[in-house]
Amino acid sequence: MKMNRILLWTATLCLSLPLNAQRYNDGLIDKVIATVGNEIVQLSTLETEVSQMILMGVVSDRNIRCRVLESILMQKLLLNQAKLDSLEVNESNVEMELENRIQEWKTQAGGEKALEDYFKKPLFKIRQEMREQLREQILTMQMRNKLQSDLPSLTPKEVERFFLQTDKDSLPIIPIQYQLRQIVLYPSKEDAVMQVKEELLTFRERVINGENFGALAALYSQDPGSTMRRGELGMAAKQIFYPAFSDAAMALRPGQVSQIIETPDGFHIIQLIEKEGDMFNARHILRKPQFGSDVRQKAFNKLDSLKNQILSDSLTFDIAATRYSMDPKSSRNSGLLSDENSGSTYFEKDQLSPTDYRAISNLKPGQISDPYESTDFGSGVSVTSGRPNDGKSGNIVYKIIKLEKILPAHPANLKDDYPVILNHAEGQRMNGVVEKFVTEKQKITYIVIDQLFRECPFERSGWVK
């Protein structure tokens, strides 16, 4: 999106700005649009932040600048106090975050040149402005943390009081959740891996002999995200790929084809299209080990046998999972699945793979599925060139699953959802501390809003005096 189109709304309103204000290259005038204590807010700063949000996919509407400006005003109040309290920024953290942001934007924009065109300024200028913006954001966050750090932990009685005093319509709705146990068998990979490597070596030789890499990718690649684009991934920062994949791609010359590369997604060959600094665009063909019907049937027979023993009461599901399941995480917990981040043993539908959900969709609590083929929950990869994604590694497994319990959808309550209520109460209390700080500081801080934004529908009434 062109910068002059993004700024069209503001440009229209700026016709009456003073002639001695700074002008952009395309004629848009810059000026100070707000003063908060010793801090100023320039129109260019507002427009840069709006542009960053749109670049990251935030939908623009008529009030987006008002909302962004109010966020900046709050940041300036906190920044003023942070400076008064002599808070300091770790510059290495600033540089690390700056590099992450720049790489993300370059990927979104489609390369360094596209990013410069989008912001209508050279990369060094974008870095310079973003560096100062990040310093302010980090100081602001430190000030928020300082305001909230003195809050004591909520006691169970206080959480209960919060729950009883809170309008039930404002409490989170907990969707339907499932508690599951599983027994997992992994197939032997050796023969399947050998077959995949032979296929990729054949494809590589065909490309070297003159065949079109993209045509082969469209026919044979098992990456659904890039197959429709003839294997092309698009210009992106190397950091978003697995190191083995990005290192192999960056070592190539345009048109050159890599040797076979293994990532948690499977096995690849890569053809470089172009590279620019630490970004590259490449095509790839992904092949995943496939297992014959005999391997699948052998696993199904064993799982059927275990299920029959469980149903005949000669073996419990818990003991069978501990003894026979090859999944190291759930087998240690008698087959019970748990979320790695929260520790919860309940899963919403969207947290389950489609195959796992289909297996339990017609079960009642206590029932066991038939054996089926699924994918495991591994280190977090997708089927798009080893790019980290949603926590499903895509390794083929065979399993039976027991539906332990179903929690119907319901408003959060103390009995079943104490951690949710606690987090909600903590969030409300922390937001209240910041809101109280802002309200008090608005009364005693010199604040001036330019006429251009005085009619904004701000959430807090103290900005316009």
- Give the pLDDT band of residue 381 (cuts 50, 70, 90): very low
What gap in Å lies between CA 460 and CA 465, rounded to an integer? 12
DSSP string of 344-375?
Answer: -S-EEGGGS-HHHHHHHTTPPTT-BPPPEEEE
Confidence check: pLDDT of 259 > 80: yes
- pLDDT at residue 306, as a whole number: 96
288 or 15: which leads in pLDDT: 288
- pLDDT at residue 111, as a whole number: 83
- pLDDT at residue 44, as a whole number: 87
- pLDDT at residue 8, as a whole number: 32
**Mean pLDDT across the chain:** 85
- pLDDT at residue 52, as a whole number: 81
Counting residues of the chain whose pLDDT is more than 90, the rounded percentage is 54
- Residue that has been written with the tokens 């005038």 in this structure: 29
What gap in Å lies between CA 135 and CA 212, rounded to an integer? 49
What is the radius of gyration, based on Cα positions, of the chain? 28
What's the gap between Cα 425 and its chain centre?
Answer: 25
Do residues 291 and 396 touch, judged by C-beta distance below 8 A? yes
What gap in Å lies between CA 143 and CA 241, rounded to an integer? 35
Query: Please, what sign has the CA dihedral across residues 154, 160, 165, 167?
Result: positive
Do residues 148 and 154 touch, judged by C-beta distance below 8 A? no
Element (H, E) at 270: strand 266-276
What gap in Å lies between CA 287 and CA 193, rounded to an integer? 9
- Give the pLDDT band of residue 377 (cuts 50, 70, 90): low
Query: What does the pLDDT look like over 276-326, one tens digit per residue?
Result: 888 899 999 999 888 777 888 999 999 999 999 999 999 999 999 999 999
In the chain the domains, ranked by start, together with CATH numbers, are 3-152+428-453 (1.10.4030.10), 177-188+293-411 (3.10.50.40), 190-287 (3.10.50.40)
Counts for the chain of helices (H) and strands (E), in that order: 17, 15
- Give the pLDDT band of residue 12 (cuts 50, 70, 90): very low
- pLDDT at residue 379, as a whole number: 33
Work out the average pLDDT over 198-209: 96
- pLDDT at residue 29, as a whole number: 64
Distant-in-sequence, close-in-space partners of 137: CB < 8 Å, separation ≥ 6: 75
Distant-in-sequence, close-in-space partners of 344: CB < 8 Å, separation ≥ 6: 338, 419
pTM metric for this prediction? 0.56
Work out the average pLDDT over 361-379: 85
Closest CA to 374 of 400, 402, 346, 413: 400
- Give the pLDDT band of residue 394 (cuts 50, 70, 90): low
- Give the pLDDT band of residue 392 (cuts 50, 70, 90): very low
Confidence check: pLDDT of 182 > 90: yes
| DSSP SS3 for 282 | strand
Query: What does the pLDDT look like over 330-349, one tens digit per residue?
Result: 999 999 999 887 788 999 99
- Give the pLDDT band of residue 254 (cuts 50, 70, 90): very high
What's the gap between Cα 150 and its chain centre?
Answer: 31
Query: What does the pLDDT look like over 143-174, one tens digit per residue?
Result: 999 998 878 889 999 999 999 999 888 888 99
Confidence check: pLDDT of 3 > 70: no
Closest CA to 66 of 449, 465, 442, 444: 449
Residues in the chain: 465
- Give the pLDDT band of residue 28 (cuts 50, 70, 90): low
- pLDDT at residue 20, as a whole number: 34
- pLDDT at residue 249, as a whole number: 95
CB atoms within 10 A of CB 142: 18
CB atoms within 10 A of CB 337: 23
Query: What does the pLDDT look like over 83-139, one tens digit per residue?
Result: 999 998 889 889 988 888 888 888 888 888 888 888 888 989 888 888 988 998 899
